[in-house]
Amino acid sequence: MKNIKDILSAYEVEPSAGCWDKLSQRLDAAAAQASADTSSSSAAGTSAGKGAALLHSVGAKIAATITGALIVGGVVTFVVLRPNSAETAQTDNTPSTTMTVADTSEENNAIPSTSNIGNTEPVVNKEKTDVQTNMPTSAADAEPVSTPDAPSTTTPAPSHPTPTTITAQPVLAPQAAKPSLSTNTTLGQVSLNQPSVLSQNMQDDPVLQNLSEDAIDWTPPTKVEIPNVFTPNGDGINDRFVIKGIENCEKRQLEMRNQAGNIVFQSSRYENDWAGDNCPDGTYRYRFIFSNRNISQTLTGTVTILRK
């Protein structure tokens, strides 16, 4: 005899086929609404794209978390939601940071994103997520996230070194521009239907054609680590918002916003000196635009101030 609460808690059921379409439509509607709302807000940096991107970029994260064994009351097979096609979203399964890596430099249209995949994503299969990509990342798979020291082993062709590595946390969902949304696939079988960008573009890319061996910069890519919390309480430990690896960045712009979207701190050349003055405890959003060897990247996420 089991008690009724346990019985009902263990109940599992699968949604019907049309459910996912409806959900997808509903989320699109919600995203459109979010864009409409945020575009009318006065905060300069909170763009409509960011609202929609946040919505979509964490969709995969949510989905991934849901398929984990933590759910009580139902197990749902889910699909990876279509992220906004204009952005590549990298997600991780700990709720500390959501990273949006936006590639802003023209010449590196394809290469850095693929090398990002190679360097930062060993495809940790925590929950049997079997991501198949056409990328030649077999060498990268074997490496832990934070140390791609020899660039020659991570990417098969001379490539522009990746300036950033996201903080070492297991990365679960695939970083892809357009995984296809299919109602009958489970999370474990998302396949990225795009051919390897590297091989396709290698022949055409004028930059690559002109590179000679000795012009390639083989120094290891810059790693930038951003904490998700800091404690400015005078104890000398984590009293400042410190971005590790910032010394390697030539450009380092930082913007901090509070939950309302107002800018509470801004620096065009951040020196790891922000202590959250006049900012009460809570969660703040950062936007860190940095560049290294002419490759510019933007990272956004949240950091919490805790003074206790």
Partner 1 sequence: MLGVCCRYAPTKEEAEDIMIEGFASVFSSLSSFRHESSLPVWIRGIMVKTAINTFRAHKKFLLHDEITEAQNIQASTSTGSDILTKLEAQQVLALVQEMPEDWRIIFNLRIMEEYSFKEIAEELGRNENTIRVYFQRARAWLLNKINEQEQLR
Give the x-and-dash track for 72-91 against partner 1 (CB under 8 A).
xxxxx---------------
Q: How far is CA 193 from CA 18, 57, 204, 239, 246, in A?
A: 23, 18, 21, 45, 35
Q: Which range touches partner 1 (CB under 8 A), out of 67-75, 148-156, 196-204, 247-255?
A: 67-75
Rule CB under 8 A: say whether 195 interacts with partner 1. Answer: no
Could you give the CA distance from residue 226 to residue 289 in angstroms, rounded to a whole number?
12
Q: Does 5 bind partner 1 (CB under 8 A)?
A: yes
Q: Is 95 in the site for partner 1 (CB under 8 A)?
A: yes
Longest dimension (CA), the chain: 75
Among 32, 62, 86, 207, binds partner 1 (CB under 8 A): 62
Pairing between β-strand 295-305 and β-strand 229-230 as defined by DSSP bridges = parallel
34 binds partner 1 (CB under 8 A): yes
CA proximity to 127, closest of 83, 166, 75, 82: 75
The token pair at 280 is 């009460």
Residue closer to partner 1 by CB (options 109, 259) is: 259
Instruction: Say if residues 285 and 293 touch (Cβ distance below 8 Å).
Output: no
Shorter beta-carbon distance to partner 1: residue 207 or 260: 260
The mark string for 240-279 relative to partner 1 (x by CB under 8 A, - otherwise) is -------------------x--------------------
- Judged by CB, which is closer to partner 1: 268, or 283? 283
H-helix segments, 142-205: 151-154, 197-202
CB-based burial label for 14 (10 Å; 0-12, 13-18, 19+): exposed
From residue 110 to residue 129, what is the string marking binding to partner 1 with x (rule CB under 8 A)? --------------------
Q: Of 59, 148, 179, 232, which one interacts with partner 1 (CB under 8 A)? A: 59
Query: Both tokens of residue 279?
Result: 């900012």
* Assigned token pair, 219: 């120094």
Binding status of residue 29 toward partner 1 by CB under 8 A: yes
Choosing from 32, 36, 44, 71, the residue that interacts with partner 1 (CB under 8 A) is 71
Q: Does 68 bind partner 1 (CB under 8 A)?
A: yes
Q: Are 100 and 47 within 8 A, CB to CB?
A: no
How many residues touch partner 1 under the rule CB under 8 A: the total is 44
101 contacts partner 1 (rule: CB under 8 A):
no
Separation of alpha carbons 88 and 291, rounded Å: 18
CB of residue 87 to partner 1, shortest distance in Å: 16
Q: Does 10 bind partner 1 (CB under 8 A)?
A: yes
Say whether residue 45 binds partner 1 (CB under 8 A): no
Nearer to partner 1, 48 or 75 (CB): 75
DSSP 43-102: -SS--HHHHHHHHHHTHHHHHHHHTSTT-SS-----------TTS-EE-BSSTT--EE-E
The contact set with partner 1 (CB under 8 A) reads 1-5, 7-16, 19, 22-23, 26-27, 29-31, 33-34, 54-55, 58-59, 62, 65-66, 68, 70-76, 95, 259, 283, 304
